[in-house]
């Protein structure tokens, strides 16, 4: 028999002992972290640089489902989705704070697994956990992460800087995370009320990892810096390619042409989409949660961009009055619409 898993009720610790337990391994590694965990507030001093700050809120039942999301993966992802926003400013993340709202159904061992993922992400991306808070929750697990980064003034990439004839570039591939959650939700429905059966996930490990344990594109930002390239605009793809491209065009007051056949899509995404009678390109355009980078650069940098592994040119910037369109292989133009994730839409 499998030994019964130890369960320590949170009421045995209380809030302050819980925070002390969860943050005992928060040892700073960045010189800009003057004071981390252990006082009323952290002290951060990024000498000679601009500070970048971003916050994300993850709610059980809205952003994640504990039926198929391991706590360790959830902790890792909670940090990564914030770091991705920092990289999207062409900045380097240095610190994070993590606050949690915890329901009575969770125990200390669950939170230990959650923080194991948080610390793993911090180590992998070289950031310090410098603070946070905890509270009880009546509506399930809540995770709020704030990420803080640094960037030189002349290297900041906003959404608003795209210029006429700029190349539109994207990292990695798109639609995989969306297909990953489609697979998990399908198996959840199939196995509802069934005991002893296992989900059919074979052959799609990449899609599952892209959804459950995404990565921020640290190496791309480092490579752009190595090549001396500062994107004219940049955004991370959390809500789908269409929505993010429209954000850049609106903020930059430009139009664009994206070429459908140039959108990078993984083979597993195509295969599962066909199996589930879905369109892989729709998943790439509207699915979200890819956490890839979408950015623009001057056309004269085409050769340099071609040298960066993991980056693909998918289109170009046009005048604003020419609109925001996708071009199909047969030359038809289809207006892009924002159909990606909307956190406050009514269902």
Query: Would the pLDDT of 3 be above 70?
Result: no
In this prediction, residue 12 carries a pLDDT of: 67
Q: What is the pLDDT of residue 60?
A: 95
Question: For residues 242 and 337, what is the distance between their CA atoms, to the nearest angstrom?
Answer: 6
**Pairing relation of β-strands 324-327 and 255-259?**
parallel
Which one-letter DSSP state was computed for residue 79? H
Q: With 90 as the cut, is the pLDDT of residue 8 above it?
A: no
pLDDT confidence of residue 300 = 97
The confidence score (pLDDT) of residue 45 equals 73
Residue 289 pLDDT grade (very low, low, confident, very high; cuts 50, 70, 90): very high
d(CA 131, CA 123): 16
Please list, in sequence order, all residues whose beta carbon lies within 8 angstroms of the beta carbon of residue 344, skipping any fewer than 6 positions away.
none
Q: How confident is the model at residue 344 (pLDDT cuts 50, 70, 90)?
A: very low
Relative to beta strand 128-136, strand 92-102 is parallel
Rounded Cα distance, 81 and 190, in Å: 29
Quick: pLDDT tens for 43-88: 777 888 889 999 999 999 999 999 999 999 999 999 999 999 999 9
Q: Where do the domains of the chain lie?
A: 14-153, 167-190+202-335
**DSSP letter string over 197-238?**
-----TT-HHHHHHHHS----HHHHHHHHHTT---SEEEEES
Helix axes 176-190, 205-212, angle to 10 degrees: 100
CA dihedral over 21, 27, 30, 35, signed as positive or negative: positive
Q: Which residue has the higher pLDDT, 6 or 72?
A: 72
Neighbours of 19 (CB within 10 A): 17
Over residues 7-31, mean pLDDT: 70
Percent of the chain past pLDDT 90, that is, above it, reads 75
Would you tell me how many other CB atoms lie within 10 Å of the CB of residue 163? 14
pLDDT tops 70 at residue 335: yes
Q: For residue 135, how many other CB atoms are within 10 A of its CB?
A: 10
pLDDT digits (tens, 9 = 90+) for 250-286: 999 999 999 999 999 999 999 999 999 999 999 999 9
Q: Which of 217, 264, 182 is nearest to 88 (CA)?
A: 217
At residue 80, the 3 state secondary structure works out as helix
Q: Which fold has domain 167-190+202-335?
A: Phosphoribosyl-aminoimidazole Synthetase; Chain A, domain 2 (3.90.650)
Chain segment 184-196, per-residue pLDDT in tens: 999 999 888 777 6
Residue burial 56-81, b: 16+ Cβ < 10 Å; e: rest: bebbbeebbeeebbebbbbbbbbbbb
Round to whole Å and give the CA distance between 256 and 334.
Answer: 11
Q: Range with the lowest mean pLDDT among 21-35, 54-68, 117-131, 219-233? A: 21-35
Model confidence at 4: pLDDT above 90:
no
CA angle 158, 62, 160 (to 5 degrees): 10
**Considering the domain 14-153 in this protein, what is its CATH number?**
3.30.1330.10
> What is residue 311's predicted lDDT score, i.e. its pLDDT?
98
Mean pLDDT, rounded, of the chain: 90
- The band of 298, judged by pLDDT with boundaries at 50, 70 and 90, is very high
Q: Residues 100, 136: contact at Cβ < 8 Å?
A: no
205 Cβ neighbours under 8 A, 6+ residues apart? none
pLDDT tens column, 126-166: 999 998 888 889 889 999 999 999 999 999 999 999 999 99
The pLDDT value recorded for residue 38 is 66
CA atoms of 10 and 103, how far apart (whole Å): 10
The C-alpha angle with vertex 180 and arms to 177 and 186, in degrees rounded to 5, equals 145
């Amino acid at each position: 028999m499998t030994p019964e898993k130890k369960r320590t009720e949170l009421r045995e610790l209380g809030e302050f002992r819980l925070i002390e337990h969860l943050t005992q391994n928060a040892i700073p590694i960045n010189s800009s972290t003057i004071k981390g965990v252990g006082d009323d507030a952290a002290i951060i001093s990024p000498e000679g640089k601009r500070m970048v700050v971003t916050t994300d809120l993850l709610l059980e039942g809205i952003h994640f489902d504990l039926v198929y999301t391991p706590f360790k993966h959830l902790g890792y992802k909670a940090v990564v989705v914030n770091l991705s926003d920092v990289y999207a400013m062409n900045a380097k993340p240095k610190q994070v704070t993590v606050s949690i709202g915890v329901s009575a159904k969770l125990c200390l061992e669950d939170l230990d697994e959650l923080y194991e993922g948080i610390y793993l992400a911090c180590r992998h991306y070289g950031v310090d956990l410098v603070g946070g808070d905890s509270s009880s929750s009546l509506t399930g697990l809540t995770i709020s992460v704030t990420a803080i980064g640094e960037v030189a003034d002349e290297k900041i990439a906003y959404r608003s800087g795209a210029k006429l004839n700029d190349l539109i570039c994207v990292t990695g591939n798109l639609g995989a995370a969306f297909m990953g959650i489609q697979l998990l939700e399908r198996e959840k429905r199939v196995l509802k009320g069934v005991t002893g059966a296992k989900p059919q996930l074979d052959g799609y490990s990449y899609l599952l990892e892209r959804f459950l344990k995404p990565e921020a594109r640290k190496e791309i930002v480092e490579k752009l810096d190595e090549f001396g390239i500062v994107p004219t605009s940049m955004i991370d793809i959390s809500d789908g390619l269409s929505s993010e491209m429209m954000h850049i065009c609106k903020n930059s007051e430009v139009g664009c042409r994206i070429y459908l056949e140039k959108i990078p899509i993984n083979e597993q995404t195509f295969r599962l989409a066909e199996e589930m009678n879905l369109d892989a390109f729709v998943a790439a355009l509207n699915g979200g949660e890819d956490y890839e980078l979408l950015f623009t650069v001057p056309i004269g940098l085409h050769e340099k961009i071609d040298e960066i592994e993991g980056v693909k040119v998918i289109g170009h910037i046009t005048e604003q009055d020419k609109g925001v369109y996708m071009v199909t292989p047969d030359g038809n133009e289809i207006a892009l619409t924002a159909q990606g994730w909307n956190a406050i839409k009514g269902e």
